[in-house]
Amino acid sequence: MKKWILLIALSVAALFEVQAQGGRGFWHQEWAVEQGDSIPLVHVLPVYVFSRPVDLRRYRRLVEAVKKVYPIAKIARAKMATMEEELCRLPTKKAQKEYIRQIYHEIKAEYTPVLKRMTRTQGRVLLKLIDRETEYTAYEVLKEFRGGFVAGFWQGISKIFGQDLKSQYDKEGEDRMIEQIVIYYEAGLLR
């Protein structure tokens, strides 16, 4: 009797282990039927191989940066959507300006401590991910909600520190590694 209970417990544990591993390591899976046979088409995620240790360190730094700032970029997208909805409902320009000023102070109070502790790499990745999530560059967001003078001022300050508020997200070009890390992050493949 004990052997049967042990055997059932092991098979249940193995079943959960198989289910936990399903979907890891590939993007998505499709099935094709050719001459009556089902053939799985698995789109495997690329694996980066680094020949120099310095490249591996840069990649790991990029992974850590994405893990830290991606949730902030998603929050920015949600806040931007609610802000645009509310601005459409407000009747006058004066009410809109007051609402923008109120949100600005809330965001400043909440995120200034977080942003002060960011590295330059994390700041650059945050600017890229804000563009990815909101489809607006950080410069466009500032210009829309705070005005052209304020946006130009902060663009100048960011240029002094080697950043660019007008940087756009290019998931097929220079930002393809960030895009891959975001896909891994959303799939839960990063620890």
Question: Which residues 6+ apart lie within 8 Å of 114 measured at CB?
Answer: 72
- What's the Cα-to-Cα distance from 31 to each of 21, 42, 185, rounded to whole Å? 19, 8, 25
What pLDDT does residue 67 have?
93
The backbone region for 44, taken as left when phi is positive above 0, alpha when psi lies in -120 to 50, beta otherwise, is: beta
Pseudo-torsion of CA 114, 81, 187, 30, nearest 10°? Answer: -160
Q: Is-contact 23 40, C-beta < 8 A?
A: no
pLDDT in tens, 119-138: 888 988 988 998 898 888 88
What pLDDT does residue 63 have?
92
**Residue given tokens 């508020």 in the structure block:** 165
pLDDT in tens, 49-77: 888 999 889 999 999 999 999 999 998 88
Question: Which residues 6+ apart lie within 8 Å of 100 measured at CB?
Answer: 83, 87, 145, 146
Could you tell me the pTM of the whole model?
0.70
Average confidence score pLDDT of the chain = 81
What pLDDT does residue 8 have?
63
- How many residues in total does the chain contain? 191
**Spatial separation of the C-alpha atoms in residues 166 and 139, rounded to whole Å:** 5
